[in-house]
Amino acid sequence: MRKTLFIQVASVTIVVAVGTMMIEHVLAEPNKFEKAASAKVSIVEAIAIASEKVSGVVIEVRLAQKHDRLIWAVEVVTPEKQVMEIHLDAQTGTAIDVEGEKVKSKRIHERN
């Protein structure tokens, strides 16, 4: 009986803690939803545009405010094992720039 009660209390404590962390995350960035709503280019469109610019596998997409401009940053791993980040204007879909860096394979990194 005590074990069951302890498990229930622990479960409730975990749920409350996770809920509090989620609320804190949303409050830390209160305009996150407003930014997403104001972007005329959707995340799906941003991925499609970036895929036209750089071939590979999309690994991350973020929406950020930079220099008074709403920007989609799409990261792509190319077949040549490079991580490329394509920045797109979230209002027009225009590519702003493409940045890249080489990624060492895990096996090469472990040898060194």
- The order of strands in the sheet holding 82-89 is 57-66, 69-77, 82-89, 95-102
Q: Are residues 57 and 26 in the same domain?
A: no
Lowest-confidence pick of 7-21, 57-71, 87-101: 7-21
Residue 29, CA distances (Å) to 25, 67, 76 in order: 7, 17, 26
Q: What local confidence, expressed as pLDDT, does residue 108 receive? A: 43
Are 15 and 46 members of one domain? no
pLDDT of residue 31: 76
**Judgement on whether residues 54 and 24 belong to the same structural domain of the protein:** no
* 50 and 99 co-located in one domain: yes
Into how many domains does the chain fold?
Answer: 2
Residues 26 and 44 in one domain: no
Model confidence pLDDT, tens digit, residues 2-60: 655 555 554 445 544 444 444 454 455 557 788 888 899 999 999 999 999 999 999 99
pTM score, two decimals? 0.64
**Judgement on whether residues 13 and 49 belong to the same structural domain of the protein:** no
Are residues 23 and 44 both part of a single domain? no
Dmax (CA) for the chain in angstroms is: 63
Integer CA distances (angstroms), 111 to 53, 55, 57, in order: 34, 29, 26
Question: Hey, which bits of the chain come out as E strands?
Answer: 57-66, 69-77, 82-89, 95-102
Q: Which domain holds residue 3?
A: 1-30
Looking at residues 67-86, what average pLDDT do you find?
93
The token duo for 81 is 């094992």
